Amino acid sequence: MKRREVKFSLMFRDMWQSSGKYVPRVDQLVKIAPHIVKMGCFARVETNGGGFEQVNLLFGENPNKAVREWTKPFREAGIQTHMLDRGLNGIRMSPVPADVRKLFYKVKKAQGTDIARTFCGLNDLRNIAPSITYAKEAGMISQCSLCITHSPVHTVEYYTNKALELIKMGADEICIKDMAGIGRPVSLGKVVENIKKAHPEIPVSYHGHAGPGFNVASILEVCRGGCDYIDVGMEPLSWGTGHPDVITVQEMLKDAGYDVPEINMDEYMKVRTMIQEFMDDFLGLFIPERNRLMNSLLIKPGLPGGMMGSLMNDLNSNLININKYKVKHNLPEMDQDELLIKLFDEVAYVWPRVGYPPLVTPFSQYVKNLALMNVMQLEKGRERWAFIADDIWDMILGKAGRLPGKLAPEIIEKAKQEGREFFEGDPQDNYPDVLDDYRKLMKEKNWELGQDDEELFEYAMHPAQYEAYKSGKAKTDFLEEVEKLRQASDCRELPKEPKTITVELEGEQYLVTVTFDDKAPAAIVTEDNGEPVAGEGKELLSPLEGNFYLTKNTQETPLKVGDYVKEGDVVCYIEAMKTYNAISSEFEGRITEIVHKPGDAVGEDDVLMKIK
C-alpha cells in the first residue's frame, strides 16, 4: 500500500517575527536562501507578508527590492513561496481600501509570491471574499485560513462550516491557522477530516505554534485527518513561541507511516549556523530569552506566538511605567513575572466580554492592549476600560467584522455613554479608495510609482513608515535602537549625554547621534517665519507611553502652533503596542507649543503640547 505524502513548508518569516521584533535584512536573506533550497525538504517557504515589509521600512530598506530578491532563488528551484495576508487589513494592522487591496496581489505576484494565505481575525468571510477574487485575478493561489481558538463558540462544526463556505467561494486551499497553538489536537483532526471528506481535491495546510505544548500531537492528528502540508521551523528558532523543528516532525511522521522528504543535514547545519550569525549580528538583541521556552500558561489567555515575540519587549517598558507610579506612592514594586500573570488573567477576563475574537493579528494585539491598559489602570487605583483605542472600538462596534460572540453589557453601556454607534454593514464600505490621492502625493514629492506600481502600493499600504524610509529617519532610528541595545547588552553604564558614532551597514557608513535617556529631546515647533514659539499655557500630558504623532494617516491634517482647539478635540495620537490612541484636549484654547516631533518616543505624563 502506497504511503500518503506529507510536505513541509518553512515558516522563515514567522520564525523571526514569533521570536522578536525584526527579520533579517535582504543581504542576509539572499545569503541564506540557496542553503534552504539545498536542504531539499521544503516544498514551500513563507517569504513575506504580515509585518515583513513594515520591518524592511523600519530598517530603512526598500521592501519591494527585498521581496523580489528573496523570492527569486526559491522560484528558480521550483519551491513555492507564500505570504501572510490579513484580508481586510492587507499586510498592516488597520483596514485597507479596496483599490489598495486589489493592487496588493498584482504587485506581490509580479514580485514572485505564489500563494496568498488570507485570514480574517474574526473569521468573517465577508473580509476574505474579495481577497479570493483579487488573488486569483492576479494569478496567485488563494489559500484561505481558519483562525483557530478554543471557546464555547469555536467548535468543530463552526470551523467545518467556515471551511466549506470558503471552498464554495472559490478558495483553492484551506489553512488551519492555529496561531496560538491552543487548538485541541483531536478536534483539529476532526476539522481536517471533515474538509477532506467533502473535498478530497482541496489541499489543506496546518500552521501551529509550539508554545502551549499541543503542537506535535496536533500535527499527528491533522495528518491522520488528511492534511497535505505542515508548517515547520528549525533551530535555533524553533519551539518556544515559534514552530516545531522540521527534524522532529519528519521523524514522527516517518514513524507513523507517511511519505516525508529527507533532510540534507549538512545544509541544515549551515542554515542553522547562519541564523545564529544573524542573531549575533543584531537580531538577537530583539529576541527575549523567554520566547525560546514552552509555556503552558499560554493555554488560558490563548495569546498567539506571533504576538508573544514582541510582548516581552512591551512588558519591560510597561513594568518600568507601573513601578515609577508605585515608587512615587510608596507601594511595593512589581516584577515581570507578576505583571505577566496579571496580564494573562486579565486577557482571560477581557476576551469573552469583547465577543471572543480569535486572538490573531490585529485582534490579539487589541485584546492584549486592552487587558494591559486595564492592568495598568488597576495597579494605579483606577477603573477598567478607562482607555480604549479607536482601533479597538472599531472591533467592538463591528467596523472590522462580526464578532463571534456577544458583547458584555458593561461594554455596550460604555459605548452608549460615549455616543458610539454599532455597525452592521460590510466592513470594506468604511474605507473608500485612496490610490488616486497617493498618486497625486507622489507626483508632488517627485517620487517614482515604481515597477508594477510597487512603490505606490507601499506608500498607500504603509504611509507613515514609507515617509520615514524616504526621509532617512527610519534608518537613523533603527541604527540608534541597535546601538542602544548593544550598549545595554554589554552591561556598561549608559552615558548621560548624546553620543555620535559611525555605524557601517551594507558597506555604507552613517553618522548616528544616540541619546541614552528615557525621554526624547523636546522640539519647539517654529512658525513659518522661522522664529521659535515661546510655549505658554496649560500642559497637555500623555496618558501613556509610546510614540507621538500628529496624525494617524495622510488623510488627516496635522495641527500646528497657533491652531485653536476645543475641549474634547482630538489633537494628536500616541502609537503604543501597534495601535494609535487618540489624545483629546482637556481644555480649550490656542496651541502655543508642540513639544515633540512625529515619531518621537514619549513617556506617561510627558508634556505633549501647551495650550493657552
Question: What is the average per-residue pLDDT within 439-445?
Answer: 97
Residue with cell 506566538: 305
- The residue with greater pLDDT, 602 or 289, is 602
CA distances from 169 to 125, 128, 192 (A): 9, 9, 18
d(CA 421, CA 430): 13
pLDDT surpassing 70 at residue 390: yes
Are residue 328 and residue 277 in the same domain, yes or no? Answer: no
- So what's the pLDDT on residue 509? 53
Mean pLDDT is lowest, of 237-251, 315-329, 397-411, 462-476, for 315-329
State the pLDDT confidence band at 544, using cuts at 50, 70 and 90: confident
Question: What is the average per-residue pLDDT within 384-393?
Answer: 87
What CATH code is carried by the domain that includes residue 216?
A: 3.20.20.70
Mean pLDDT is lowest, of 120-129, 429-438, 453-462, 530-539, for 530-539
- Tens of pLDDT along 187-207? 999 999 999 999 999 999 999
The whole domain housing 546 covers 538-611
* Closest by CA position to 205, among listed 182, 174, 178, 235: 174
Question: What is the average per-residue pLDDT within 409-423?
Answer: 93
Are residue 388 and residue 491 in the same domain, yes or no? Answer: no
3-state SS class at 44:
strand
- Tens of pLDDT along 210-228? 989 999 999 999 999 999 9
Of 219, 254, 288, the residue that ends a domain is 288
d(CA 277, CA 233): 17
Are residue 123 and residue 203 in the same domain, yes or no? Answer: yes
Structural domains in the chain (count): 4
- The residue with greater pLDDT, 516 or 444, is 444
Are residue 495 and residue 381 in the same domain, yes or no? Answer: no
- The residue with greater pLDDT, 299 or 526, is 299
Report residue 280 as a C-alpha cell.
549575533
Of 288, 316, 338, the residue that ends a domain is 288
- So what's the pLDDT on residue 85? 94
pLDDT surpassing 60 at residue 177: yes
- Cα atoms found within 13 Å of the Cα of residue 97, Cβ hemisphere only: 18
- So what's the pLDDT on residue 396? 95
- Tens of pLDDT along 230-267? 999 999 999 988 999 999 999 999 999 999 999 999 99
Question: What is the average per-residue pLDDT within 371-390?
Answer: 86
Q: With respect to residue 550, please indicate whether it lies within any of the assigned structural domains.
A: yes
- So what's the pLDDT on residue 71? 97
Q: Which of 22-36, 321-335, 513-527 has the highest mean pLDDT?
A: 22-36
- Tens of pLDDT along 110-164? 999 999 999 999 999 999 999 999 999 999 999 999 999 999 999 999 999 999 9
pLDDT surpassing 80 at residue 365: yes
Helix axes 98-111, 454-461, angle to 10 degrees: 130
Are residue 365 and residue 480 in the same domain, yes or no? Answer: no
What CATH code is carried by the domain that includes residue 574?
A: 2.40.50.100
- The residue with greater pLDDT, 312 or 103, is 103
pLDDT surpassing 50 at residue 290: yes
Q: With respect to residue 336, please indicate whether it lies within any of the assigned structural domains.
A: yes
State the pLDDT confidence band at 534, using cuts at 50, 70 and 90: low
d(CA 183, CA 73): 34
Average pLDDT score, the chain: 88
Are residue 321 and residue 221 in the same domain, yes or no? Answer: no
Q: With respect to residue 123, please indicate whether it lies within any of the assigned structural domains.
A: yes
d(CA 492, CA 498): 15
Query: Considering the chain, what percentage of its residues have pLDDT values greater than 90?
Result: 60
* Closest by CA position to 187, among listed 231, 219, 155: 155
Q: With respect to residue 438, please indicate whether it lies within any of the assigned structural domains.
A: no
Name 9's bridge partners.
Answer: 44, 231
pTM of the model: 0.80
- The enclosing H or E element of 135 equals helix 125-137
Per-residue DSSP letters for 210-264? -TTS-HHHHHHHHHHHT--EEEEB-TTSBSTTSB-BHHHHHHHHHHTT-B-----
Of 238, 264, 288, the residue that ends a domain is 288
- Tens of pLDDT along 61-75? 899 999 999 999 999
State the pLDDT confidence band at 293, using cuts at 50, 70 and 90: confident
Q: With respect to residue 456, please indicate whether it lies within any of the assigned structural domains.
A: no
Q: With respect to residue 577, please indicate whether it lies within any of the assigned structural domains.
A: yes
Q: What is the DSSP letter of 361?
A: T
d(CA 261, CA 270): 18
- Tens of pLDDT along 553-598? 766 888 999 899 998 888 999 887 667 888 889 889 999 999 998 8
- The residue with greater pLDDT, 184 or 513, is 184
Are residue 145 and residue 171 in the same domain, yes or no? Answer: yes
Are residue 274 and residue 348 in the same domain, yes or no? Answer: no
Strands 173-178 and 204-208: parallel
- Tens of pLDDT along 53-62? 888 888 888 9
**Residue 580 main-chain phi, psi, to 5 deg:** -95, 120
d(CA 81, CA 108): 11
Peptide bond into 236 cis (omega under 30): yes
- The residue with greater pLDDT, 464 or 9, is 9
Are residue 42 and residue 15 in the same domain, yes or no? Answer: yes
Are residue 196 and residue 80 in the same domain, yes or no? Answer: yes
CA distances from 527 to 172, 357, 530, 554, 593 (A): 57, 46, 5, 22, 10
Are residue 69 and residue 156 in the same domain, yes or no? Answer: yes
**Residues 6 or more apart whose Cβ sits within 8 Å of residue 158:** none
d(CA 98, CA 455): 17
Q: With respect to residue 167, please indicate whether it lies within any of the assigned structural domains.
A: yes
* Closest by CA position to 229, among listed 12, 42, 474: 42
d(CA 530, CA 6): 67
Are residue 72 and residue 105 in the same domain, yes or no? Answer: yes
Q: With respect to residue 554, please indicate whether it lies within any of the assigned structural domains.
A: yes
